[in-house]
Amino acid sequence: MLERGETSSFPAIFGVVEDWIERGEHYVSEAAVIGLLEDLTAAVRYKSGRPSDFVPWLGPASKEAWTNVQDFWAWIEKGKLEDHPDFANSKLNDNRDPG
C-alpha cells in the first residue's frame, strides 16, 4: 500500500495499532508490536521506500515500540544480545551455554 501511495487508511489503521499497544491485553499489545511493527521495520520487505516511511502515522506508544524493536535488532546484528539490558535480566539468559 505504501509503495503504491495508498495511505489514506493509514491514520485509522495505525490508530487501532496505537490503541492495541496502549489499552490491549498484554498478548494483544505484544501481537501489535511483534506481529505488525516488527514486520514493518524489516527493510528487506521493501522494493522501494524504507521502514521509516511509516513513522509519520505512528502514535507515541507505537513510536516507542518501533524504536525498541529497531534497537533490539541492532543488538542482534552486532552479536551482542547477551549485553542488552532486557536480555541480561530475562529467563532466556539462564539457558545460555556457560562455556
Residues 6+ apart with CB under 8 A from 76: none
Task: Say what the pLDDT of residue 40 is.
Answer: 87
pLDDT per position in the chain (99 positions), as tens?
777 888 999 999 999 999 999 999 999 999 999 989 988 887 666 677 788 889 999 999 999 999 988 888 887 777 766 666 666 555 444 444 444
Q: What angle do CA 5, 7, 12 make, to 5 degrees?
A: 175
Among residues 36, 50, 39, the alpha carbon closest in space to that of 3 is found at 50
pTM of model > 0.75: no
The DSSP annotation for 17-79 comes to: HHHHHHHS-HHHHHIIIIIIIHHHT-GGG-SSS-GGGGGGG--HHHHHHHHHHHHHHHHHHTT
pLDDT of residue 8: 92
**Residue ranges of domains in the chain:** 10-94
